[in-house]
Amino acid sequence: MNLRAKIMASLVVLAFLGGCTEHKPINTTTDSITIKKDTTPHRQLYYSHPPRLPGQWTVADIVQDYSASTKGKLNPYFTKAKVSYPPKEVTLIALKQEKKLELWARDSGEFRFIRNYNIQAASGVAGPKLRQGDKQVPEGIYRIAGLNPNSHYHLSMKINYPNEFDLFHAGQEGRIAPGSDIFIHGKAVSIGCLAMGDEVIDELFVLTAQVGAENVKVVIAPHDLRNHPLKSESKSLPRWTPVLYSIISQEMKPYYRR
């Protein structure tokens, strides 16, 4: 194998070992990765500032350019739910089996259902993420750790996987590489992330920026436990999975539609 071929082979291997890394867009397809064609139409935007080169956008730029359209799309849902826009708190509930992402919000008092979105791609199966490269979407209670306006996946919101629960059990089991770089992002390709398509991530990104990332919670469950309880009957799941599913079940109590 010549030097050029060796380099190309190494790059392919590195692409599969990572999560949805923000440094290399994923273009490779395999049977283990859920990929759908992104049919989002191109949008024409009229910027109030000169166009910026790739890598030069700020969160404030995105909010400035997309806030009006985001409010126009979301405000009818918030009005119907009797929640002001933007709200004080937001919860995003990702249901892996159903491939749905629910948006809940509140000003004060109880959370109210706003709307749901189709998840365009989410790789892996039911069960928590355990290690780098397992292509699993995590399960648990997370927060938004950061907003990236210069993502290769249009826009992205990084969740704080691994959280304290994930790190504790990784340490107990000697797993030194539980994985990282898990995002909610645009486009329609996933290796452990939640791919929402470009128009949806516009809404979620701007909403999160306006509410404040510290006021946004992300709950990821293997399926909708409001239809049937979470169970860890598979022998392939970690022995601590019942504890995780009990935590998720407890967290989901305020999010039952009435």
Per-run averaged pLDDT (10 residues), the chain, 258 residues = 46 44 38 35 43 77 94 96 96 97 95 97 90 93 96 95 96 92 93 94 97 97 92 84 95 87
pTM of the model: 0.81
Domain annotation covers residue 8:
no
Residue 19: its pLDDT value, please?
56
Distance CA(218)–CA(147), nearest Å, equals 14
Residue 207 lies in a domain: yes
Instruction: Specify the number of domains making up the chain.
Output: 1
Residue 102 lies in a domain: yes
Residue 245: its pLDDT value, please? 95
Task: Assess if residue 120 is contained within a domain.
Answer: yes
Retrieve residue 26's tokens: 């994923």
Q: What is the per-residue pLDDT for 51?
A: 57
Domain that holds residue 211: 89-223+246-258
Instruction: Judge whether 20 counts as a catalytic residue.
Output: no
Given this model, what pLDDT does residue 55 score?
A: 72
State the pLDDT at residue 42. Answer: 40
Is the distance from CB of 142 to CB of 163 less than 8 angstroms?
yes
Please confirm, yes or no, whether 185 is among the known catalytic residues.
yes
Task: For helices 59-81 and 198-211, give the axis angle rounded to 10 degrees.
Answer: 90
Give domain status of residue 97, yes or no.
yes
Q: Which two tokens stand for residue 244?
A: 């995780």
- Determine the pLDDT at residue 143: 97
Catalytic position from the list 20, 154, 169, 193 = 193
- Of the residues 23, 185, 223, 228, only one is catalytic, namely 185
